[in-house]
Chains A and B, each alone.
Chain A
Amino acid sequence: MTYQNLIQRAWHNNTLLSVLLELTYDCNLNCFFCYNDRKQRGLPLRLDQYRQLIDELAEMGVLYLTLSGGEPLVHEDFWAIGSYARVRGFVIRIKSNGLAIGPRLARRLKLEVDPFVTEVSLHGACEATHDRQTRVEGSFSQLMHNIQDMLQAGIRVQLNVPLTRWNETEVEALCALADRSGLLLQIDPDVTPIDTGDAAPLSIAPTEAGLRGLHEVLQARLAASSTKKQTTGTAELANRGVQKKACPESTTKHCGAGATGLAVDPYGNVYPCVQWRIRLGSFHDQSVKDIWQNSEKLKQVRALNEKVGETRRSARTDAGLAFCPGVAQAETGSPFSFYTAFRLRKLAAHRSRETI
């Protein structure tokens, strides 16, 4: 059986494969458009609870574990949690802003946590743009140094670029920057509301022209890579292939939310996905296994997921356009409705097709 077949079965059978832990909402940057609700309060999970959670996930057969934030490295127990996850045999992905990972921490990260990939956020191809978005002077320059330190330490680095109207004209330069160091690059075209539903971040969402520009650059790169085959490697398979990419053929679900994936916030609240913030339960009160097997809300999410899949598959003109029911629900109140970023991408793709 191929890996793809196994993933299809996992989607069909609701087999938990991938979990994202938001360790903290604290951060050493101050990005204007951050989706985290930094005012959220609750009882943070303690280190012993994280160990218990990690044990439980390992016993459930979860393979992929993402440590995210906020900035996960500012959590006081980051090293203990990360190294324990390594001991329990997870493929670890770290989502960081990279600001603190200088040579010493890069070596420590490789040695103690050994992540499969460390994804760092890049907000522009130059200091002015990046620092404008992070609102921390010198953050671009520091990040550029730290990326080299991470590479030297043997860490696989991926650049995650949230596309905004402030950096949308720099797509080609961002690609060139990634190519120069042989880094993986992911550009996320969706600026989303804050988890409270506050739509303030959308004020810097990319413009339709910016999205069209992105579409054209990516098309050109795709055409170039079809003659020079690129290795996508496990970064593709390890997480995005499991959780975020379009539904594998022959399954009825739209995405992995609640089917193969879960997210846990710093206060132990469990959600189907980091973007679909329907609270399924709390690790303070229940085991994840109990939530996964018995939560009525999760059963509803899975049913919704199937309905979204059915709706999106019938919308043939939107083929290839990623649709996130979680963002739709946060912005419009319905997981089926078009949200701002999706409408813009749809328009941009349509105009690009017209131009071509």
Chain B
Amino acid sequence: MENLEKIYERSSEVRYRILEGQAVVVLQDVAQVLVLSEVGARVLELLDGKRKMVAVRDLLLVEYEVDEAQLEQDLNDYINQLKEAGIVHCTEDSR
């Protein structure tokens, strides 16, 4: 993973709820609705602007049966997708 010390948080324009085990994410500014999978929803919940990525990774390792290296790779890809979609940002970037 690029940097396990980084902290991510959901963008202020993002509204979301867990529905039927999945996350319905509304991007207010661009008027878009996205649906994230159960694991994707869990990651989104954990990106609270307080936890470092290392803590997110460790929690997911406890909650899901997954290889650590694979998880780091998937998490890295997923965070990049969320960043691109404007759903999350790194707290350091907003300082």
Mark A residues whose CB is within 8 Å of B.
1-3, 6, 9-10, 13, 15, 17, 61-63, 89-91, 114, 116, 156, 231, 233-235, 237-238
Q: Mark B27-62, 1 if CB is under 8 A from A, else 0.
A: 110011111000000000000000000000000000
Chain A residues within an 8 Å CB radius of B13: 114
In the complex, are the beta carbons of A233 and B31 less than 8 A apart? yes
Q: A10-B19, A63-B15, A63-B17 are in contact. Are A2 and B35 (CB under 8 A)?
A: yes
> Which of the residues A61, A63, A90, A234 comes within 8 Å of B31, measured between beta carbons?
A234
In the complex, are the beta carbons of A89 and B35 less than 8 A apart? no
Q: A63-B24, A114-B28 are in contact. Are A6 and B15 (CB under 8 A)?
A: no
Give me 4 other A-B pairs in contact (C-beta within 8 A), A89-B16, A114-B12, A116-B28 excluded.
A6-B20, A63-B17, A63-B26, A89-B17
In the complex, are the beta carbons of A156 and B19 less than 8 A apart? no
Chain A residues within an 8 Å CB radius of B90: none
Closest residue on chain A to residue B18 by CB atoms: A61
Is residue B11 contacting chain A, with contact meaning CB distance below 8 A? no
Interface size class of B (residues with CB under 8 A): 10 to 19
* 24 A-B contacts (beta carbon < 8 Å): A2-B35, A3-B33, A3-B34, A6-B20, A6-B22, A6-B35, A15-B19, A17-B19, A61-B17, A61-B19, A62-B17, A63-B17, A89-B15, A89-B17, A90-B15, A91-B15, A91-B26, A114-B28, A116-B15, A156-B31, A231-B31, A234-B26, A234-B27, A238-B33
Chain B nearest CB from A222 CB (Å) reads 20
10 closest pairs, A vs B, by CB?
A233-B31, A234-B31, A63-B17, A91-B15, A61-B17, A91-B26, A3-B33, A237-B33, A9-B20, A116-B28
Mark B residues whose CB is within 8 Å of A.
12-13, 15-20, 22, 24, 26-28, 31-35
Chain A residues within an 8 Å CB radius of B27: 234
Chain B nearest CB from A47 CB (Å) reads 23
